[in-house]
Amino acid sequence: MSKDALEVLRGHESLRKFTSVKITTEQMDAIYDAITQSSSTCFFQFVTTIVVQDPEKLAAIAKLAGNQGHIAKCSHFLFFCLDMTKLMHMYDIKPPFGLRFLIGGLNDCSICCERALVAAEAQGLGGVIVGGYKRGIKEVCSLLKLPQGVVPLLGLCLGVPDEEFREEQKPRLPRHWFIMDEEFHDPFNAEELAAYDQKMLAYYQNRRYNQCDETWSSSTKGMLLGSYCDAKDIIACLKEQGFDYF
């Protein structure tokens, strides 16, 4: 199945409920093509994608990511890693690698990840981007046997959607809150925020699973103030893998 590109982009929603059917090799090939042809900072081509299908490993990743059950049940989990090893073989460069590489790598991993998700959605598959494994990033490095010069910057959980659980799309803020002509205009408007919160409340209350009484304001507050993830552990792991922020 292949949908029109704009239809796919406009139709995005994260999917976290999958059937037990595996994504086919042909479908994964199309996803790998989308990753391979991604734009690349300085054309370094320094994103390595590690694909995990082993159920035991998937269960371990799900746990490290704060018990995200959809990871354990997905068909393929992709780790997008910043990988300096190719350049290390070619030139006399050694860790630590500075911010230039971290920013470039983060950009490139994000581009590869989103392109993979779009390629999946275009084929009627689904998934969700996963950053939550960063709670256990050190353990993930061991699980994937990552050498120095390689660090996992983003994850993607892919599967065949269980249509019974397909949701309405999650509403977004009004477009003028994040698309601006020519220069910055502070878009904040308490009335528009209240209206958006009402929309989000209706979305959360009426969705088919995990219903709750959240709004956008309450959920962002929870994310901002909650003990989400200790940055110290991530920084320590980055350093161990050969990256620094000079």
Ligand X SMILES: Cc1cc2nc3c(=O)[nH]c(=O)nc-3n(C[C@H](O)[C@H](O)[C@H](O)COP(=O)(O)O)c2cc1C
Instruction: Return the range that interacts with ligand X (CB under 6 A); candidates 8-16, 23-31, 89-97, 223-231.
Output: 8-16
Nearer to ligand X, 88 or 154 (CB): 154
- Verify binding: residue 13, ligand X, rule CB under 6 A: yes
CB of 150 to ligand X, least distance (A): 19
Residues 50, 53: Cα–Cα separation, whole Å:
10
CB of 156 to ligand X, least distance (A): 9
Of 155-174, binders to ligand X (CB under 6 A) are: 170
Of 76-135, binders to ligand X (CB under 6 A) are: 128-132
Residues 118, 139, 81, 135, Cα dihedral to 10°:
60
CB of 93 to ligand X, least distance (A): 28
CB of 14 to ligand X, least distance (A): 3
Nearer to ligand X, 44 or 228 (CB): 228
What is the torsional sign of CA 37, 136, 214, 202?
positive
Using CB under 6 A, count the residues that bind ligand X.
11
3-state SS class at 130 = strand
Nearer to ligand X, 128 or 160 (CB): 128
Give the pair of three-digit tokens for residue 219.
Answer: 């959920």
CB of 131 to ligand X, least distance (A): 3
DSSP 30-60: HHHHHHHT---GGG---EEEEEE--HHHHHH
Select from 73, 56, 78, 76 the least CA-distant residue to 165: 73
Give the pair of three-digit tokens for residue 112.
Answer: 């590869």
Nearer to ligand X, 14 or 107 (CB): 14
Nearer to ligand X, 129 or 201 (CB): 129
Give the pair of three-digit tokens for residue 9.
Answer: 């982009």
What b/e sequence results for 125-142 when a residue is b if at least 16 CB atoms lie within 10 Å of its CB, and e otherwise? bbbbbbebbbbbbbebbe
- Verify binding: residue 68, ligand X, rule CB under 6 A: yes
Query: Which residues form the interface with ligand X (CB under 6 A)?
Result: 13-14, 16, 65, 68, 128-132, 170
